[in-house]
Amino acid sequence: MIKLDNTKKFYDEIKTMGFFKRVFSWGKIIALLTESYSEINKIEDLVDEKTKLESDLKSSNQSIDNFKENVSELKGSIRSLEEKRDSQVAEIKKISNELSEFKKVDQKRDEEHKTAIGKLQKSTEDFDARRQKLEDEQVEKEKEKFEEMAKTWRNHEDLVEQSMKQICNKYTMDYFDKEKVPFNGKPDNTVKIANEYIIFDAKSPQKDDLNNFPKYLKAQSESIKKYVKETDVKKDLFLVVPTNTMAVIDTTFYDQSDYRVYVITIDALEPILLSLRKIEEYEFAEKLSPEDRESICRVIGHFAHHTKRRLQIDTFLANKSLELLKSCDYLPEDILDEVKNHEIKTIINVPMDKRSKKNDLEKLKTDKNKLTKELQIQHINTKVGAKNIDSIELYSKEDKK
């Protein structure tokens, strides 16, 4: 605080000052006045400073008020943020719980997936093993089948010779093997009918190869020409092939201009020989009337057509039977094993062809009628017209040309 002692002294002196004192003590008055002025200046300075401080205080108060307002707004924002925070914390907690549940479900699903994958892998391995087993069995069956076919092919020449000898012996025909033919060359089997030598040459796939068999037959049909040049050799020659090769043979007839070659199986030997035997009923072929020749040719033609058609149908049915047998491999394993057991136990005995037993035509007709009645009882249609059978092409387009 500023003290105004000099100012008070100045005013007290002015109040009590007389004339003489004013004259002789003026210097003192001046000094007090100077001190008083100095004190007043200080007071003015203090007033100015106070005014400034009051202005600063007012500005500070305004700033404080503004700050309070900002603080209030910030508190409101803080409360809003705290509410958002609380809401987000709750949401985070909820999401965390859901995530925890999802992890549990995902873990369970992953375990189930691993289990399913394991089962699938096991099933796949079992399936692959079963498939491989079936494939191995199929390959083995095909191998056994092929070996059996190859065995038949290797023995084919002997089988044809035995069959020819039995048929000729049965019907008293003149038979010549390759060592006894009365002309050049060594055809496998030769029969003499109506003073003509008819050649039946046995042919089977070479080196167990069936793919090139048709080409081989065509080449053989050309090389067999050497026999036609011989005296009294018939211009109709026969190549006897295994029955199980008919499925790959494109044609069963080769017209070589000056001679003809027919491809037949062992099953066709007897009916063909019997049909050729009919000619022997005449002493000389040149004595036959045109009508008789036509009849003989017609009978032989019907025999040949019947034999080829029978072979065609038998081959078709054999292929269908093989397809059915192959489809059995896809049966369940337990059922397939049971089927195999029954198959092994089953025996089918085909009637033997005994020389002493005569095949009476009337008896065959009676047996056929009995069979027809049995089929009718089973509601099986046996009235298949010739048109239905003839609608199936017997010859290829090349053969027709």
Share of the chain above pLDDT 90, in %: 14
Tokens 């099986």 found at: 380
pLDDT reading at 209 higher than 80: no
Q: Taking a C-beta distance cutoff of 8 angstroms, is the pair 233, 227 a contact? A: yes
For residue 160, the model assigns a pLDDT of: 92
The count of C-alpha atoms lying within 13 angstroms of the C-alpha of 172, restricted to the half-sphere facing its C-beta, is 1
pLDDT tier, 365 (very low <50, low <70, confident <90, very high otherwise): confident
pLDDT digit string, tens, across residues 75-86? 788 888 878 888
How many whole angstroms separate alpha carbon 327 and alpha carbon 335?
A: 13
Taking residues 161-171, what's their average pLDDT?
93
- The residue among 328 and 243 whose pLDDT is bigger is 243
Cα three-residue angle 347-350-355, rounded to 5 degrees: 145
For residue 89, the model assigns a pLDDT of: 82
For residue 170, the model assigns a pLDDT of: 92
- The residue among 113 and 9 whose pLDDT is bigger is 113
Would strands 253-255 and 260-265 be described as parallel, antiparallel, or unpaired? Answer: antiparallel
Taking residues 361-365, what's their average pLDDT?
71
- The residue among 136 and 17 whose pLDDT is bigger is 136
Q: Taking a C-beta distance cutoff of 8 angstroms, is the pair 191, 173 a contact? A: yes
Structure tokens at 136: 């191995």
pLDDT digit string, tens, across residues 210-244? 788 899 999 999 999 889 888 889 999 999 998 88
For residue 260, the model assigns a pLDDT of: 93
For residue 3, the model assigns a pLDDT of: 61
pLDDT tier, 155 (very low <50, low <70, confident <90, very high otherwise): confident
Structure tokens at 272: 């063909």
Taking residues 328-335, what's their average pLDDT?
78
Q: Which DSSP helix (H) or strand (E) runs through 260? A: strand 260-265
Taking residues 305-326, what's their average pLDDT?
77
pLDDT reading at 17 higher than 70: no
Across 255-269, 330-344, 376-390, which has the greatest mean pLDDT? 255-269
For residue 312, the model assigns a pLDDT of: 75
Taking residues 146-168, what's their average pLDDT?
82
For residue 184, the model assigns a pLDDT of: 87
Calculate the dihedral angle through the C-alpha atoms of 60, 61, 62, 64, rounding to the nearest 10 degrees.
90
Nearest to 240 by CA among 259, 267, 215: 267
Taking residues 287-294, what's their average pLDDT?
67
